[in-house]
Amino acid sequence: MNLRTLITRAMRGFREERRLYLSAIFSLAIAFLCLASAILALRNFETLSSRWSEAGKLSLYLDEGLSVEATAELELLLSGLREIRRIEHISNEEARLEFLAGAVDGAALRELPAELFPSSLELYLEPNLAAADIEALATRLGTLSGVASLERYQSFFERLDRMIGAGRWGTIGLSLLVALLVFGVVGSTIRLSLARRSREIEVMKLVGAQPSFIRGPFIVEGVFQGAAAALIAIVTLAVFYFGFRSEIDLGVRLFFGGETLFFGPGAIVGFLIGGALMGGLGSTLSLRRYLA
Amino acid sequence: MAISMNRERRTRTRRPFAFFRADAQRGARDHERPILEFEDVYKFFGEEQAALRGLNLKIERGEFVFLTGPSGAGKSTMLRLITRELGVDSGRILFAGKDISRLTDRSIPYLRRNLGIVFQDFRIIPHWSVAENVAISLEVMDYSPRLIRSRVSEVLERVGLEGRGGERAGRLSGGEQQRVAIARAIVTEPALILADEPTGNLDPALAVDILTLFEEIHETGATVLFATHDHGMIERGNHRILSLEKGRVYDVRKGLSSWSASGVHTVREQGLRVVAG
């Protein structure tokens, strides 16, 4: 059967059963939207985690009232360590301004005195340092005079890693659930469509149609359902994401720093192809079952 | 080379009798053999209920044959054996000299492409157009859209539906719907046309029209097996008659144009030759 005839017959089937197919597409689109949202959230967490871990940052909070000379001496000492790539001094006032920039209600907090915010030395480490090296460095730095406390962000990283790990498993589970849902919805649609078009199928068999001729349009319809549902899901997610991006990024910047990302063109094409394949596979399996 | 192989594959798909083994050679005498032969065919439904009991018959190429008999005599079973909707329990059915009772499932579509089938209930798709209903026979054979349009147009003219290809088939009258079904059956120029009570749902005047149409198709060289229990139809045509009763066939030869009574008893009373029974 040539491709043109195949697509023409599939489109005819879609026109004849458009209500059935539209309801199936919207059911699938909701499932794909959940999956796409989960994948997008996981991808952003992974990007943030990777960005942070690559940055390899430590914060040394200085003693209150530490003199400028003592701070400079400490900075000189630290710049001689091979593990440290760059040092940035944050004064009390700079710390206050940074806090106010990230705060939701900056106006109400503007009166806070700068002394409430400790000055610090932000240490940017060399990339690809081993965890043991960072641990040893942190132990040494914690004993230096003039250092009030040290923030390694370790517990945060551990929590983030655990969260990402759970997110990965959750996304895999959700993918399986969505696949089952796609097979179920496409299967039910095909079954109903086969029942409604039983006369057509009977006639085709009587005039000598091969099974592939009968199945072909149904498989194309399944592929179309999957691809259309995936497209609707991506477009809906994009509308929500870009519509609320400033609010989302504000929250992310406050807690994690950095900005979120949407899917790239490759990922979008991959998602559409994945949807189409799921639809096609679902219809193929259903036809095997119901078109005996 | 690839183009040549593709062309060969496409030709093989379309070729009549492609349901035979790929390596099978058609014998020179195949064209001389009857188009259809039943050799001692038995068909049972359940252990004791025999629909056909040792059926033997031959239909030559280019014949027009009426198949008649009371309800339950086995007419439909016989036709369904030819189309391989059913399989035989024993015996052989030869179509153009080849045994179709042993065909694999994959080969059955190729057999059906060589048959034109018309039913009492038309079996057309009401929401398709007239042209789409006819074209499906050619689409399954992978003809080009242009050729399909041309052939469909020709055949619609032949059955008296010229210029009506775009109409929805379900909106036509019963007689016109049956013409669509006939057009679908003959558009591939099949080796054998099977008509299963094609006038059963039509009023007498329309039934005569449809019979006339089948006779015209037969005059172009087609072989027609016309199943009916309407003696009015049988009387009108001067064709060979096969009568079925209780799974056996009785052959009433051509020329019995005044056969007016019903059933096989009349055949027996008139002392006509019993072919099998």
What pLDDT, on the 0 to 100 scale, is given for residue B252? 64
Residues A86 and A177 in one domain: no
Residues A42 and A62 in one domain: no
| Structure tokens belonging to residue A19 | 């209500």
A16·B127 Cβ contact <8 A: yes
Better-scored residue on pLDDT, A262 or A2? A262
What pLDDT, on the 0 to 100 scale, is given for residue A54? 61
Q: What is the count of residue pairs from A and B with beta carbons less than 8 Å apart?
A: 50
Q: Tell me what percent of the residues of chain A surpass a pLDDT of 90.
A: 26
pLDDT band at A240 (very low <50, low <70, confident <90, very high): very high
Residues A46 and A161 in one domain: yes
Nearest CA in chain A to B14: A208
- Which residues of chain A are within 8 Å of residue B142 when distances are taken between CB atoms? 1-2, 5
**DSSP 3-state assignment of B104?**
coil
Tell whether A61 is covered by a domain: yes
What pLDDT, on the 0 to 100 scale, is given for residue B73? 82
From the list B106, B112, B127, which residue is nearest A206 (CB)? B112
Residues A109 and A186 in one domain: no
Tell whether A262 is covered by a domain: yes
Would you say residue A43 has pLDDT above 80? Answer: yes
Q: Tell me what percent of the residues of chain B surpass a pLDDT of 90.
A: 38
Write the CB contacts of A12 (distance below 8 Å, at least 6 apart in sequence): A217
B112·A202 Cβ contact <8 A: no
Tell whether A131 is covered by a domain: no
pLDDT band at A225 (very low <50, low <70, confident <90, very high): very high
| CB B56, CB B38: distance < 8 Å | yes
| Structure tokens belonging to residue B168 | 């929805």
DSSP string, A148-197: EEEE--HHHHHHHHHHHHHHHHHHHHHHHHHHHHHHHHHHHHHHHHHHHT
Question: Cα–Cα distance between B262 and B234 in angstroms, integer?
Answer: 11
- How deeply is A221 buried, as exposed, middle or buried, from its count of CB atoms within 10 A (0-12, 13-18, 19+)? buried
Question: Would you say how long chain A is, in residues?
Answer: 292
**pLDDT tens digits, residue range B242-257?**
888 877 887 665 544 4
**pLDDT tens digits, residue range A93-145?**
888 887 777 666 656 777 788 778 888 998 888 877 777 788 888 888 888 88
Would you say residue A3 has pLDDT above 90? Answer: no
- Mean pLDDT, all residues of chain A: 85
| CB A115, CB A26: distance < 8 Å | no
B123·A207 Cβ contact <8 A: no
| Mutate: best of B9, B19, B125, partner A, most A CBs <10 A | B125
Angle at A219 between CA A209 and CA A4, to 5 degrees: 65
Residues A234 and A281 in one domain: yes
Would you say residue B153 has pLDDT above 90? Answer: yes
Tell whether A191 is covered by a domain: yes
- Mean pLDDT, all residues of chain B: 80
**DSSP 3-state assignment of B58?**
strand
- How deeply is B173 buried, as exposed, middle or buried, from its count of CB atoms within 10 A (0-12, 13-18, 19+)? exposed
- Measured in angstroms, the CA of B216 and the nearest CA of chain A are apart by 22
What pLDDT, on the 0 to 100 scale, is given for residue A271? 94
**pLDDT tens digits, residue range B38-87?**
999 999 887 778 888 888 889 999 999 999 888 778 888 899 999 999 99
Classify residue A122 by its DSSP letter.
Answer: E
Domain finish residue from A75, A104, A126: A126
Beta strand A120-125 with B115-119 is: unpaired
Residues A231 and A161 in one domain: yes
B154 interfacial to chain A (CB closer than 8 Å) = no
Tell whether A140 is covered by a domain: no
Q: What is the CATH number of the domain that holds A93?
A: 3.30.70.3040
The kind and range of the H/E element at A265 are helix A265-290
Residues A115 and A256 in one domain: no
**Residue A55 backbone phi and psi in degrees, to 5:** -65, -35
B124 interfacial to chain A (CB closer than 8 Å) = yes
Residues A44 and A181 in one domain: yes
| Structure tokens belonging to residue B198 | 């094609």
The 8 Å CB, 24+ separation contacts for B40-48 are: B40/B90, B40/B91, B40/B92, B41/B81, B41/B88, B41/B90, B41/B91, B41/B92, B41/B93, B41/B101, B42/B88, B42/B89, B42/B90, B42/B91, B43/B74, B43/B77, B43/B81, B43/B86, B43/B88, B43/B89, B43/B247, B44/B89
Question: Cα–Cα distance between A223 and A213 in angstroms, integer?
Answer: 16
- Measured in angstroms, the CA of B133 and the nearest CA of chain A are apart by 9
Mean pLDDT of B227-234: 84
pLDDT band at B27 (very low <50, low <70, confident <90, very high): low
Tell whether A151 is covered by a domain: no
Tell whether A145 is covered by a domain: no
Nearest CA in chain B to A204: B136
Closest by CA to B216, choosing from B253, B186, B257, is B186
Residues A64 and A197 in one domain: no
B140·A203 Cβ contact <8 A: no
| Structure tokens belonging to residue B187 | 């558009």
What pLDDT, on the 0 to 100 scale, is given for residue A255? 64
Would you say residue A6 has pLDDT above 60? Answer: yes
Block residue for tokens 């057999």: B111
Assign residue A260 a region (left: φ > 0; alpha: ψ between -120 and 50; beta: otherwise): beta
| CB B35, CB B97: distance < 8 Å | no
| Mutate: best of A206, A210, A212, partner B, most B CBs <10 A | A206
**pLDDT tens digits, residue range A152-190?**
777 777 777 788 888 889 989 988 998 888 888 888 888
- Measured in angstroms, the CA of B123 and the nearest CA of chain A are apart by 7
Would you say residue A33 has pLDDT above 70? Answer: yes
**DSSP 3-state assignment of B277?**
coil
Would you say residue B24 has pLDDT above 80? Answer: no
Would you say residue B12 has pLDDT above 70? Answer: no
Mean pLDDT of A213-219: 90
**pLDDT tens digits, residue range B92-111?**
999 988 899 888 888 999 99
In sequence order, the β-bridge partners of residue A151 are A59
B113 interfacial to chain A (CB closer than 8 Å) = yes
- Number of domains chain A is built from: 2
Separation in Å, CA A261 to CA A52, A53, A238, B56: 15, 18, 11, 79
Domain finish residue from A84, A103, A126: A126
What pLDDT, on the 0 to 100 scale, is given for residue B202? 81
Residues A85 and A203 in one domain: no
- Measured in angstroms, the CA of B33 and the nearest CA of chain A are apart by 24
Question: Could you tell me the residue range of the domain that residue A285 belongs to?
Answer: 3-52+157-290
What pLDDT, on the 0 to 100 scale, is given for residue A104? 63
Residues A45 and A104 in one domain: no
- Which residues of chain B are within 8 Å of residue A205 when distances are taken between CB atoms? 109, 112
Residues A162 and A256 in one domain: yes
